[in-house]
Chains A and B, each alone.
Chain A
Amino acid sequence: MKTVSLTIDGKEIKAPGGESVLWAALDSSIYIPHLCARHDNSAPDASCRLCWVEIEGRLKPVTACTETVAEGMVVNTRGAAALRLARTALELLLASNVVDCANCARSGACELQKIAAHLKVKLKTRRFKKILRNLEVDSSSPLFIYDPNKCVLCGQCIRVCRQRLGIGALGFAHRGFNRRMTTFGDEPIGQSECQNCGDCVAACPTGALCFKAAAAKL
């Protein structure tokens, strides 16, 4: 597809036509917080609601992963309205997540830490009440531990699992606050279709999926 030129945060960049604003920015080293986006041509999930940007000529902030680049587009990733939405989304995630970096194998490589630093939000945010999900930790897999209380429901693990196994061992189930990443019939991962490839663990942006070996080193 034809290359288009656009401006993000004052920087002139080029991106292949049809690309999303999010990947165009990331490929040009401009960071926009994101958890659920994937870099293929499937329809965006648009579920994490972190990738807010402002685009000239648009009244309200939009999610960068759902916006296609256009010639001459002017994007601002640091607008007040966009940052406000991104911060609220992050604070909501943190308020319902177990935040225990000192004892987490993902610490240092965790996307939540990165996004919090970028948005200048404290990991132990106080704006919202701590409402934890109190779900059982699943250590039935020989390879990894799944702590659903640290899951942000980004769906990255589900996606790679599906790519690897065809139908996939993982999926989302239940509604509202109770929605969670789980296996068919909520059975322990060790008893599911899981083939222990570990792709999901690599794909997970948080400490929800961690290798047992890494956890043991703590």
Chain B
Amino acid sequence: MKATGLPGVAATFQKIKKHAQARWQELQKARAVIMVGSATCGRAAGALEVLRAFKNELKKHNLDCPVIEVGCMGHCYAEPIVIIAKPGYPSIVYQRVNPVIAQRLVREFILGDNPCLEFVLGALEENKLVPGLADFPRAQFEQKVILKNCGHIDPEDIDHYIASGGYSALVKALQLKPEQIINEVKKSGLRGRGGAGFATGEKWATCRHAPGKPRYVICNGDEGDPGAFMDRAILESDPHSVIEGMLIAGYAVGAGHGYIYVRAEYPLAVQRTRLALSQARKLNLLGKNILGGDFSFDIKLFQGSGAFVCGEETALIASLEGQAGTPSHRPPYPAVSGLEGKPTLINNVKTLAFIRHIVDKGAKWFTGIGTKNSPGTAVFALAGKVVNTGLTEVPMGTTLRQVIFDVGSGIPGGKPFKAVQIGGPSGGCLPESALDLPIDFDSLAKAGAMMGSGGMIVLDQDDCMVEIARYFLEFTQRESCGKCTFCRLGTKQMLEILSEFTRGKGKLKDLDTLTGLAEDIKAGSLCGLGRTAPNPVLTNLRYFRDEYEAHIREGRCPALMCQELIAYYIIPEKCELTCDACVGNCTVEAISSHPKKRYKIIDQEKCVKCGTCLTACPPQYNAIVKLSPPTEVPK
């Protein structure tokens, strides 16, 4: 794509960019720059206390160093994270910083010359002092495109974004014809990251050519899947990348207005996005006659009620219109008839965040990453039984094993892997045998799971697959809007059957009812929520049927997780006669000593299966075990 014409816009932007760069360079001249990761994940770990400690300590020593709040670097397991950039040193990333460590860093590193290596996670650049993050094993597999800025710039300062190359793609786009941009997006093969992987360029073209005006662009930031927080992290860490994507989309489809739909439960994302919008408006990167050109586009932020189903596009639009957030039949698709019946382009946060890179570096660059049918990178939120919880971005086609074991460093305590749940309530659980599957939209669908929005929950031997399925069904039943019969009543029936299984009350023929019903709900529901709700159960049954049968036939939970199917038992030979840790800890006084032999015994009638005794029993004795079925307890 070669940009032509409109030198005015480019010239106006040059001035803005020069100013931003000057400010950025000014920052580098400080004695040291301190960047505190203060996205929601960092804040939960205490980032704001750390921030305050830095500021107080600097003041105490009369030091005038900028302390900047940045977003999430993805290493959520190591939060709070602080980066200190001091001239003469590489930019050093510190992990699990607390106020005391913050004070020490000011005194010893900023004032003195001791970089306190004991708290270091790594360095941003190659150097001799500290291992670079780029040399971490996970770095071999990661490729940061839309997460690149996250944790490295101040999301509340538009100049940081501009100095790092931001809004240049918009300026380039404004000098192209809308069709050229749509073609480039088509050629890039970008597929929507909101879950279904619909071809973005096709959608843009449909919207542009749909009759009716005005047209709208909506950014879908509802993100309601349990465990997913990728979109939140992007809006908190790099909101301008999404705004720039929307601007380009608006120009390409011929829209004048946009909405960012964020759930109200994401207050920091709301706050930072609002601020970003107002800063962009001040620089005339948003609003009337952007940068003095012909294109006008403004964006409003809308806070959703945080219902999962409101992420479904027709429900989201209804909710934007002030109606109840229930889905409606498609077609018509929003691209043809959406908000107020007008052509409406609706894309996910991540999809929009890719746009600037595609405009900037071209479709060829993008197709060079990932797989043939799913180009680009995928962002995952790693959670569950995995050492490095947090965010990662890897090229499509990376295997599950690489993501879980190389990026995530495997399972804590070296326990055996059992399954990985991908795609949340619409996805499925994949077993060990699927670990070498290269991840992309199509391969996951073939295996019965779904890319979904990118939640990845790792499960080990202590997780019961029946319970996992029940958990997700409970979620979808709770989050179903209740409009259509299959989803409202069908998921309720499925949940009921699964609950019986976890109580050991199921019958084998219930398995047939369950699968038959699951197939019908998939085929018969009105919207994607119902149509994908049975996936966690169906994949789970496909790969872990033996666990279901153990529950049904033997009343046994192989993972020892289902409360009603287990019993706690004290092994007499292992019980240390002088110890009574468990006795004191049991809240219902179910444990007593054998009248003669003095080892402890649990009264199964009284036991409420809280598991406190098992934790209380000192590790050197390890005398308490869970048994399933409860009849395994010796009389």
Contact = CB atoms under 8 A, between A and B. Distances in A.
Chain A bound to chain B: yes
Interface of A: 43-50, 52, 60-61, 63, 66, 81, 84-85, 88-89, 92-93, 95-96, 127-129, 131, 152-153, 172, 174-179
A61 B523 contact: yes
Given A61-B523, A89-B524, A92-B493, A48 B485 contact: yes
Contacts of A93: 485, 489
B482 A177 contact: yes
A84 B524 CA distance: 10
Interface in B343-398: none
Interface residues of B, number: 32
A47 B484 CA distance: 4
A48 B484 CA distance: 6
A92 B324 contact: no
Given A95-B493, A127-B513, A179 B481 contact: yes
A175 B523 contact: no
A178 B482 contact: yes
Contacts of B478: 175-176
Nearest to B510: A129
B328 A43 contact: yes
Interface in B484-534: 484-486, 488-493, 496-497, 513, 516-517, 520, 523-526
Contacts of A89: 485-486, 520, 524
Contacts of A45: 328, 483
B524 A153 contact: no
B524 A46 contact: no
B477 interface: yes
B307 A175 contact: yes
A92 B329 contact: no
A63 B331 CA distance: 12
B149 interface: no
B488 A177 contact: yes
Contacts of A153: 482-483, 485, 488
Contacts of A177: 477, 480, 482, 488-489, 492
Contacts of B549: none
8 contacts: A46-B484, A88-B516, A92-B489, A93-B485, A127-B513, A128-B513, A153-B485, A175-B481
B505 to A, nearest CB: 12
What 7 A-B pairs are tightest by C-beta distance, nearest first? A179-B482, A92-B489, A46-B329, A88-B520, A176-B480, A177-B492, A49-B485
B482 A49 contact: no
B483 A179 contact: yes
B479 interface: yes
Contacts of B477: 176-177
A179 B525 CA distance: 16
Contacts of B484: 46-49
Contact of A176 (B479, B513, B520, B524): B479
Contacts of A66: 329
Nearest to A44: B329
Contact of B523 (A85, A96, A179): A85
A96 B492 contact: yes
- Give the interface centre of B482, B491, B525 by most chain A CB atoms within 10 Å: B482
Given A85-B520, A85-B524, A131 B496 contact: yes
Given A43-B328, A47-B526, A175-B307, 17 more contacts: A44-B329, A45-B483, A63-B329, A88-B517, A89-B486, A89-B520, A92-B486, A93-B489, A96-B489, A127-B513, A131-B492, A131-B493, A152-B485, A172-B324, A172-B483, A177-B480, A179-B482
- Give the interface centre of A44, A61, A84 by most chain B CB atoms within 10 Å: A84
Contacts of A49: 484-486, 524-526
A61 B486 CA distance: 15
Given A49-B524, A60-B523, A127-B513, A88 B483 contact: no
A46 B496 contact: no
Contacts of B520: 84-85, 88-89
A105 B517 CA distance: 32
Contacts of A63: 329
Contacts of B486: 49, 88-89, 92
Contacts of B517: 88, 128
B604 to A, nearest CB: 30
Interface secondary structure of B, over-half rule: helix
Contacts of B513: 127-128
- Give the interface centre of A92, A96, A153 by most chain B CB atoms within 10 Å: A92
A178 B492 CA distance: 10
A75 B240 CA distance: 51
A96 B492 CA distance: 10
Contact of B493 (A43, A128, A152, A179): A128
Nearest to A90: B485
Contacts of B488: 153, 176-177, 179
- Give the interface centre of B326, B480, B483, B485 by most chain A CB atoms within 10 Å: B485
A212 to B, nearest CB: 29
Given A61-B523, A172-B324, A88 B479 contact: no
Contacts of A92: 485-486, 489-490, 493
A134 to B, nearest CB: 13
B309 to A, nearest CB: 8
- Give the interface centre of A49, A95, A177, A178 by most chain B CB atoms within 10 Å: A49
A174 B526 contact: no
Nearest to B332: A43
A213 B61 CA distance: 87
Nearest to B492: A177
Nearest to B330: A66
A59 B476 CA distance: 27
Given A60-B523, A177-B492, A47 B485 contact: yes
Contacts of A50: 485
Contacts of A81: 523
A175 B479 contact: yes
A8 B520 CA distance: 24
A88 B524 contact: yes
Contacts of A96: 489, 492
Contacts of B481: 175-176, 179
A195 to B, nearest CB: 23
A96 B523 CA distance: 21
Contacts of B480: 175-177
Contacts of B493: 92, 95, 128-129, 131
Contacts of B490: 88, 92
A175 B306 CA distance: 13
A76 B267 CA distance: 52
Nearest to A49: B485
A59 to B, nearest CB: 11
Contacts of B485: 47-50, 89, 92-93, 152-153
B64 to A, nearest CB: 54
A45 B307 CA distance: 20
A117 to B, nearest CB: 19
